Amino acid sequence: MQFTYSHHLVQLVARAEAATTRIAGADPDRRARLAPAARGEAAACSARLDGSPLTDETVARVDAGDVPVLDGPPADLGTGWARALRLEGMETQDVAAVEYANLRTLDAVEAELASRIVTEPLTALRDVHGIVCEGLVDPAVIGAPRRTEQAVHDGAQGMVIYHAPAPDTVEPALADLDEWLRRRTLVQHPAITAGLVHGRLLEIQPFEAGNGRVARACARLVLVAAGVDPQGVAVLERQLMADPTGYYGEVAATVRRRGDRSRWLERHTGALARALEAAADALDPRPRPALPDRGRAVVAAVPAGGRINLREYARDVGVDLRDARADLVAFARAGELVEAAGGGGLTFERPRSMA
């Protein structure tokens, strides 16, 4: 798969590695206590990234063991996954509850699926799809390649973000992905492999339903297979939820770039690094880094939700680009800024919670 190891991507991989090391070295009991809530949040975010109306109340209901049995027929997938949320006679939150419960079921078999994702990828992929869609769709299409034309939509406005490739290309594309995974897993960094698998599945949309959550689950399996966060304390999906339109939009941009996945990998690996760092910070709190006095006023002037880039900061503070980068990273590590997704490490955003 085509991509370039930019300087920024190399830095992001190094950050992910450093955070993984901190997580692995943290107190095992603290990891065990953090994992259940983190896994629940990851499942809820994954469902919502696919447009599920899942509420916190429904999450609590399922976590308490109340999982409804749907009475209606499975969705007619000729019209896509969204039909499952509008089945006549079904309560929307009942459907959402089953979606969430299915994602939590993946946790119980994650280790076994992870052991197969790199040795028999297509079988593991179909098994993931079966769990995600259990009770929601016609069993005849579970694990079967998509046979209909589909498009990915913006959940807020319903606008088409990108069209999936023609159905007759799905099986060859999956065969190529299967071969690539078997060959490249041992020589590619797991953060890169996970990002490529995630992005490629979002591009292909291999099944009639549930493709987004299947793609995210498979990326997670690749990481677990490589020993990255096996207990599940990092929540990648939280980072993706910060800009869901940009997340899917980057897939569309990859298609327009004829498969150059460099920018996608920067976005995905950046989200992964931030997720791992957040988990490491929760497990092993460290003092906030000292902030450069010279930049405090400039950063404070950025409005909540506003952005500042490297050149603007360098100009306003009167430093060179190298010092500007070091300053902005320090502000980001202290929580005063966040690195903007897809910004190539050059743009930072003021959190909306900041005054």
Q: How, if at all, do strands 307-309 and 347-349 pair? A: antiparallel
pLDDT tens figures, 36-47: 999 999 999 999
Which residue type is seen at 281?
D
Which residues, including other chains, have CB under 8 Å from residue 274's CB and lie 6 or more apart?
239, 338, 339
Is residue 161 classed as helix, strand or coil in its secondary structure? strand
Helix (H) or strand (E) holding 274: helix 262-283
The residue ranking higher by pLDDT, 353 or 164, is: 164
Give CA separation, 142 vs 128, 200, 282, in Å.
10, 19, 38
Overall average pLDDT of the 178-194 stretch: 88
Q: How confident is the model at residue 74 (pLDDT cuts 50, 70, 90)?
A: low
Q: What percent of the chain has pLDDT over 90?
A: 71
Top-level class of domain 293-349: mainly alpha
pLDDT tens figures, 88-114: 444 789 999 999 999 999 999 999 999
Q: Tell me, what's the pLDDT at 339?
A: 85
Residue 83 has pLDDT above 50, yes or no: no
For the chain, how many residues are written? Answer: 355
The residue ranking higher by pLDDT, 333 or 282, is: 282
Q: Are 271 and 236 in contact (CB under 8 A)?
A: yes
Overall average pLDDT of the 166-188 stretch: 90
Please name which of 182, 349, 174, 162 lies closest in space to residue 270, comparing C-alpha atoms. 349
Q: Tell me, what's the pLDDT at 82?
A: 45
Overall average pLDDT of the 328-338 stretch: 87
Domain definitions of the chain by residue range: 7-283, 293-349
What is the 8-class DSSP label of residue 257?
T
Is residue 203 classed as helix, strand or coil in its secondary structure? helix
In sequence order, the β-bridge partners of residue 137 are: 75
Give CA separation, 120 vs 115, 169, 218, in Å.
9, 20, 12
pLDDT tens figures, 284-309: 887 777 889 999 999 999 998 899 99
Give CA separation, 293 vs 230, 297, 300, 311, 329, in Å.
40, 8, 11, 18, 14
**Helix/strand number for the chain, H first, E second:** 14, 5
Residue 84 has pLDDT above 50, yes or no: no
> pTM (2 decimals)?
0.87
In this chain, the answer to whether the domains covering 7-283 and 293-349 adopt an identical fold is no
Overall average pLDDT of the 49-55 stretch: 93
Please name which of 101, 107, 126, 124 lies closest in space to residue 47, comparing C-alpha atoms. 101
Which residue type is seen at 174?
L
Superfamily per CATH, domain 7-283: Fido-like domain (1.10.3290.10)
Residue 67 has pLDDT above 50, yes or no: yes
Overall average pLDDT of the 19-31 stretch: 95
